[in-house]
Amino acid sequence: MKEQEGPGGPPKPKRAGFGGRPASSSSSSEESGEDGGEPQEPAEELLADDATIDLVADRAKAGVDEVLAELDRELVGLLPVKQRISEIAALLLVDRARRRFGLESERPNLHMSFTGSPGTGKTTVAMRMASLLHRLGYLRRGHLVAVTRDDLVGQYVGHTAPKTKDVVKRAMGGLLFIDEAYYLYRPENERDYGQESIEILLQVMENDRDDLVVVLAGYADRMDVFFKSNPGMSSRVGHHLDFPEYDVKELLDISGLILAKQNFRLDPEAEPVLRDYLTRRREQPRFANARSVRNALERARLRQARRLVTAEGDVSKDDLVTLIADDFLGSRVFDGEPDDESDTDAAGRPAEESAEEPVKESAGG
Ligand SMILES: Nc1ncnc2c1ncn2[C@@H]1O[C@H](COP(=O)(O)OP(=O)(O)OP(=O)(O)O)[C@@H](O)[C@H]1O
Ligand SMILES: [Mg+2]
């Protein structure tokens, strides 16, 4: 299980009188976040009926613009996803504004499903979403707890409920991200413990929706099947975000972002080679979109290092930052095979976490 504060450190809570309805559940009160935020806060004074609210200023003040701009800057493509996030932000701003006039309504349903192929940015966007919801006052802590079936489901009778409840408790006040959620449901084994976990999650998604946002992630087709067999889950999800595969141009842009961040650059002659590499890699098995780009660059760095260390003569700063065509041409992708270290393992899961991903935390401690 991975736990992660929102990017850019924990933002200041901005929830006075806004979305921060008192949490209704008993379990959430045990988990006062490290920002010391007890869920209950005195409601802000109601506005008079003839008052007005400057939503644009509100948006800026809550840091919504900042999160959206960052999302736009740091994530290539994903237009439908970005648009949807901005719509959700608008919905919540209006909801907050209504609340300030005392206009009661149910809190918008914020549980979501993120569907798409590996490496399309689901986990990354979930982290941004947690931060956004925190800034808007809909999440107390705004952290992300990322889990898979193994973190939720036990091995023997009586093991699953405490496991799932422990995860839920850790996620309270934040976003619970369940990767490959469909593995919770195994109809072929009628005594599978996954069902027990689903039941608990269903309850929590209903009763604790003021203090926890659940995101179910995975491949679109398997998620479809999962939702069809679990209508309770389906009906609790308010927003479906679909993450499209990246085209070659987007993959190149992603490599540009990654390289710039790490103080590398491509030799002009390496550019068409990388394009060719990505065009080929995209058609091969176990392609994992942006993650494959990251891995390709890692391997090019290895070849660069080997090249520089074995080269005669001194090495300049320019040499150290430049990846040349040969650094890519050494790849087996050009022999029609995926690179030796594949981007995902046999089960189609990522082979390794990139340095940028949330820090691993043991599920027990
Ligand atoms: N649109 C993008 N622009 C730039 N970098 C991206 C983009 N999408 C993903 N990445 C980078 O690619 C890596 C993989 O992304 P992420 O882990 O979010 O994908 P994922 O959809 O969760 O994959 P999986 O389904 O395999 O868990 C991360 O390092 C992320 O920063
Ligand atoms: Mg992921």
Tens digit of pLDDT for each residue in 328-353?
Answer: 998 888 887 777 455 554 344 444 33
Pairing status of strand 213-218 against strand 175-179:
parallel
Burial class (CB in 10 A: 0-12, 13-18, 19+), 212: buried
CB-based contacts of 110, cutoff 8 Å, min separation 6: 88, 133, 138, 209, 213, 238, 239
Report CA 39 to chain centroid distance, whole Å.
Answer: 24
> What are the start and end residues of each CATH 3.40.50.300 domain in the chain?
2-243
Is the CB–ligand 1 distance for residue 62 below 6 Å? no
Is the CB–ligand 1 distance for residue 290 below 6 Å? yes
Q: Return d(Cα 261, Cα 2) in angstroms, integer.
A: 24
State mean pLDDT over 11-34. 38
55 — pLDDT class (breaks 50, 70, 90): confident
One-letter amino acid at 112 equals: M
Q: Return d(Cα 232, Cα 191) in angstroms, integer.
A: 19
One-letter amino acid at 176 equals: L
Q: Return d(Cα 140, Cα 34) in angstroms, integer.
A: 10
State in Å: Cα 105 to ligand 1 middle. 36
Q: What is the pLDDT of residue 191?
A: 82
Outline where the chain has alpha helix (H): 55-61, 64-74, 79-100, 122-135, 149-152, 160-171, 194-207, 220-229, 231-236, 248-261, 270-283, 289-310, 317-321, 325-329
198-204: list long-range contacts, CB under 8 Å, 24+ apart.
198/230, 198/232, 198/233, 200/161, 200/164, 200/165, 200/168, 201/152, 201/164, 201/168, 201/233, 202/232, 202/233, 202/236, 204/25, 204/168
Atom of ligand 1 nearest to the CA of 344: 26
pLDDT at 35 over 90: no
3-state secondary structure of 144: strand
Is the CB–ligand 1 distance for residue 121 below 6 Å? yes
pLDDT at 302 over 70: yes
Indicate the top mutation candidate among 120, 149, 180 to test ligand 1's pocket, ranked by most ligand atoms within 8 A of CB.
120
- Whether the full predicted model's pTM is greater than 0.85, yes or no, is no
State mean pLDDT over 5-24. 43
Q: CB atoms < 10 A from the CB of 206, how many?
A: 12
On average, the pLDDT of the chain sits at 83
Q: What is the pLDDT of residue 161?
A: 95
Is the CB–ligand 1 distance for residue 94 below 6 Å? no
Options 1.10.8.60, 1.10.3720.10, 3.40.50.300, 2.60.40.10; CATH of 248-335: 1.10.8.60
State in Å: Cα 220 to ligand 2 middle. 14
**CATH code of domain 2-243:** 3.40.50.300
Q: CB atoms < 10 A from the CB of 303, how many?
A: 17
Q: Return d(Cα 295, Cα 356) in angstroms, integer.
A: 13
Q: Return d(Cα 86, Cα 80) in angstroms, integer.
A: 10
- Alpha-carbon torsion, ordered 90, 91, 92, 98, to 10 deg: 110
State in Å: Cα 119 to ligand 1 middle. 4
Q: What is the pLDDT of residue 307?
A: 95
Is the CB–ligand 1 distance for residue 202 below 6 Å? no
